Amino acid sequence: MTTNTAPETRSAEELLAELLQNQKKATRNTRIASFANIVLVVVLLVAAVTLVPKAVALIARMQTTLAEIDTLTQEASAVAENANTIAANALELSDGAGELISNALELSGGASEMIGNANEMIGNANRVITQNTDAVTEAVQKLNGVDFAKLNEAITNLNNVVRPLSEFFQKFT
């Protein structure tokens, strides 16, 4: 074997040896790349197996919380409607009570009956106010029962889970 490395002067045996050496390097590099791809797939599978159930559970908790908020909003709306009804009834009752008092002064003979009617109207007004106050109190208690800190925590957790997934999938677009 000669030490001259020019391709024209090398023998076929030297060229084959060099070709074999280059092929071994290429095979080794292919194996390394294949191993790296396998490791990457395993890491992605492990990440998917651990993150996807957590994301699904978090989404389920958020849906439950949103449903509760929706229910509370509907109840608060009903309470507001009840409060408006109470106010309207109170105005009607006060107008009626004022009329009763006027009539009582004009009609001295039926004064006792009118006072009884006024007392009955006031009693009815008190019952209506008490019933609606109970509904308002119940709605306020339900609003106070909402754990907004947990809701905010759930939203933050969902954001923390979804952001890396979003960044990961953006790399493929």
The pTM of the full predicted model, rounded to 2 decimals, is 0.35
| Residue 146 region by backbone torsions, left for phi larger than 0, else alpha for psi between -120 and 50, else beta | beta
Please identify which residue in the block is written with the tokens 């007392």.
119
What pLDDT is stored for residue 131 in this prediction? Answer: 73
Helices then strands, counting H and E runs in the chain, come out as: 3, 0
User: Looking at the predicted structure, is the pLDDT value of residue 124 above 50?
Assistant: yes
Residue 2's pLDDT band (boundaries 50, 70, 90)?
A: very low
Please identify which residue in the block is written with the tokens 């509370």.
72
Contact 142, 72 (CB under 8 A): yes
Tokens of 54: 């957590």
Contact 113, 59 (CB under 8 A): no
Question: Across residues 136-150, what is the average pLDDT?
Answer: 78
CA 140 to CA 132: how far, in whole Å?
Answer: 12
- Over the chain, what is the mean pLDDT? 80
Tokens of 56: 């699904």
User: Looking at the predicted structure, is the pLDDT value of residue 135 above 80?
Assistant: no
User: Looking at the predicted structure, is the pLDDT value of residue 4 above 70?
Assistant: no
Question: Across residues 47-67, what is the average pLDDT?
Answer: 85
CA 155 to CA 42: how far, in whole Å?
Answer: 29
Contact 58, 161 (CB under 8 A): yes
Report the candidate in 30, 3, 7 with the shortest Cα–Cα distance to residue 19. Answer: 7
- Return the higher-pLDDT residue of 128 and 48: 48
What pLDDT is stored for residue 79 in this prediction? Answer: 81
What pLDDT is stored for residue 1 in this prediction? Answer: 43
Question: Across residues 19-31, what is the average pLDDT?
Answer: 96
Tokens of 134: 């109970």
**pLDDT digits 0-9 by tens, 70-116:** 888 888 778 878 878 887 787 777 777 667 767 656 765 555 676 77
What pLDDT is stored for residue 18 in this prediction? Answer: 94
